[in-house]
Amino acid sequence: MAATRRPTGGEQAVHPPWDDSYRHGPAPWEIGAPQPSLAPLIESGAFVGPVLDAGCGTGEHAMALAARGYDVVGVDVAGTALAKARAVAADRGLTIEFVDGDALDLAPLGRRFASVLDCGLLHTLGADERPRYAASLASVTDPGAVAHILCFSDLGGPIGPHPIGENDIRAAFTAANGWELVEIAPAAIHTLIAKEPFAARLVTARRIAPTLAE
Ligand SMILES: C[S@@+](CC[C@H](N)C(=O)[O-])C[C@H]1O[C@@H](n2cnc3c(N)ncnc32)[C@H](O)[C@@H]1O
């Protein structure tokens, strides 16, 4: 499914193809643990299964969820990351489905999810892709599902490589795309490339009955 996709905004602007990020040692965001802004949500049971980890990378968040008993599916376009995720999950004795798929076109997965975790994917998408992504998430969730999204912010502490504004989030997660925003809270994203975490936002969106056809 992901093989025919077009490079996303972030890939065109900054990155070589996503898979390259994983071929030469840890990618900058592979901190070996869930992001501290997401860990409390995972530990407190804020997610409801089945959970979609959209842009799961090497699967650290999917694995943290699975270790707490959640049914999780990780989706990513980077085959190298998925291979690593599968190997580490097997080492840890965790059963997780890691799928090579495009988060902008999730319907072909043929799966339904009760919640979504996105750590670092939304902010890599271009302005035209973010609404498509929100609609794609809506295509695999039902009203009442919740999405928790950690993304770089354009305000606050050190600014990360793909900052997006609150208006960018509001423009994507609209009622027409099947979402209402519950909260946009200040957060942080830790990386291997900087001592200080980058400014981020933790977005909570609730799936509502959309105005578009399902
Ligand atoms: C910044 S990394 C974060 C990875 C992981 N969530 C983590 O926290 O370690 C963004 C991830 O999104 C993936 N990605 C980018 N565009 C995607 C798309 N259209 N569909 C699925 N995954 C995508 C990349 O391959 C990469 O693994």
Integer CA distances (angstroms), 175 to 72, 144, 179, 185, 203, in order: 26, 13, 5, 20, 15
d(CA 152, CA 120): 7
Q: Which residue has the tokens 């997780």?
A: 96
Report the interhelical angle of 79-91 vs 60-67 (nearest 10°).
Answer: 30
- Architecture label for domain 9-14+23-207: 3-Layer(aba) Sandwich (3.40)
User: Does the predicted TM-score (pTM) go above 0.85?
Assistant: yes
Phi, psi dihedral angles at 32 (to 5 degrees): 80, 10
Binding pocket residue ranges, ligand 1, CB within 6 Å: 8, 18, 29-30, 55-57, 60-61, 75-78, 81, 102-104, 119-121, 124
At 214 the pLDDT is: 46
Instruction: Give 10-residue mean pLDDT values along the chain (214 residues).
Output: 64 74 93 97 96 98 98 97 98 98 97 98 96 98 98 91 94 96 97 95 93 52
At 10 the pLDDT is: 61
49 Cα: distance to centroid of ligand 1 (angstroms):
20
Integer CA distances (angstroms), 143 to 87, 113, 157, 214, in order: 34, 10, 35, 11
Closest atom, ligand 1, to C-alpha of 35: 8
Computed from CA positions of residues 136, 141, 146, 147, in that sequence, does the dihedral angle turn out positive or negative? Answer: negative
- Give, using CA atoms, the residue closest to atom 1 of ligand 1: 120
Residues 6+ apart with CB under 8 A from 140: 52, 106, 107, 109, 111, 112, 113
**Mind listing the pLDDT tens digit for each residue in 168-207?**
999 999 999 999 999 999 999 999 999 999 999 999 999 9
Token pair belonging to 97: 């489905």
Closest atom, ligand 1, to C-alpha of 29: 9
At 15 the pLDDT is: 62
